[in-house]
Amino acid sequence: MSSQLAIAKEDLNKYGFLNIDVDPTLDLVAEIERLKKEKNAIILAHYYQESEIQDIADYIGDSLGLSQKAAETDAEIIVFAGVHFMAETAKMLSPEKKVLLPDLKAGCSLADSCPPHLFRKFKEKYPDHVVISYINCTAELKTLTDICCTSSNAVHVVNSVPKDKGIIFAPDKNLGAYLIKETGRDMILWNGTCMVHEIFSHEKITKLMLRHPDAKFIAHPECEAHLLEKADFIGSTSGLLRFTQEDPAEKFIVATEAGILHQMELKSPNKTFIPAPPNNTCACNDCPHMKRNTMEKLYLAMEHELPEIHLDDWIIEQGVASIDRMLEISAAAGL
CA distances from 244 to 105, 178, 249, 308 (A): 32, 21, 8, 36
Q: Is 174 an interacting residue with respect to ligand 13P (CB under 6 A)? A: no
Kindly provide the residue ranges of all beta strands, DSSP E only, lying in 14-170, ordered along the sequence. Answer: 41-46, 59-61, 77-81, 98-100, 130-134, 147-149, 167-170
CA distances from 278 to 6, 204, 227, 290 (A): 41, 8, 12, 17
- Spatial CB neighbours of 334, under 8 Å, sequence gap ≥ 6: none
Q: Is 63 an interacting residue with respect to ligand 13P (CB under 6 A)? A: yes
Q: Contact letters (x/-) for ligand SF4, 100-139, by CB under 6 A?
A: --------xxx-------------------------x---
> Considering beta carbons, is residue 20 or 241 the nearer one to ligand SF4?
241
Interface pick for ligand SF4 out of 287, 301, 302, 309 (rule CB under 6 A): 287
Q: Is 303 an interacting residue with respect to ligand 13P (CB under 6 A)? A: no
Q: What is the DSSP string of 75-92?
A: -SEEEEES-HHHHHHHHH
Q: Is 196 an interacting residue with respect to ligand SF4 (CB under 6 A)? A: yes
Sites for ligand 13P among residues 124-143 (CB under 6 A): 136
CA dihedral over 301, 302, 307, 309, signed as positive or negative: positive
CA dihedral over 314, 17, 116, 98, signed as positive or negative: negative
Sites for ligand 13P among residues 187-206 (CB under 6 A): 194
Q: Is 89 an interacting residue with respect to ligand 13P (CB under 6 A)? A: no
Tell me the window of 125-133, 191-199, 236-244, 317-325 that interacts with ligand SF4 (CB under 6 A).
Answer: 191-199
> Considering beta carbons, is residue 83 or 227 the nearer one to ligand SF4?
83
Q: Is 261 an interacting residue with respect to ligand SF4 (CB under 6 A)? A: no
CA distance linking residue 60 with residue 304, whole number of Å = 23
Q: Is 236 an interacting residue with respect to ligand 13P (CB under 6 A)? A: yes
Nearest Cα neighbor of 236 from 256, 261, 210 is: 256
Q: Is 195 an interacting residue with respect to ligand SF4 (CB under 6 A)? A: yes
SS3 at position 251: strand
Q: How far is the CB of 126 from ligand 13P (least distance, A)?
A: 26
CA distance linking residue 288 with residue 301, whole number of Å = 19
Interface pick for ligand SF4 out of 62, 103, 140, 257 (rule CB under 6 A): 257
The distance from CA 289 to its chain's CA centroid, rounded to whole angstroms, is 10
Q: How far is the CB of 101 from ligand SF4 (least distance, A)?
A: 13
CA distances from 309 to 8, 31, 54, 79, 151 (A): 17, 23, 21, 10, 24
Tell me the window of 97-105, 148-156, 181-189, 241-249 that interacts with ligand 13P (CB under 6 A).
Answer: 148-156
Q: Is 44 an interacting residue with respect to ligand SF4 (CB under 6 A)? A: no
Q: Which residues bind ligand 13P (CB under 6 A)?
A: 62-63, 136, 150-152, 194, 222, 236-237
Residues that bind ligand SF4 (CB under 6 A): 48, 83, 108-110, 136, 194-196, 257, 287, 289-290
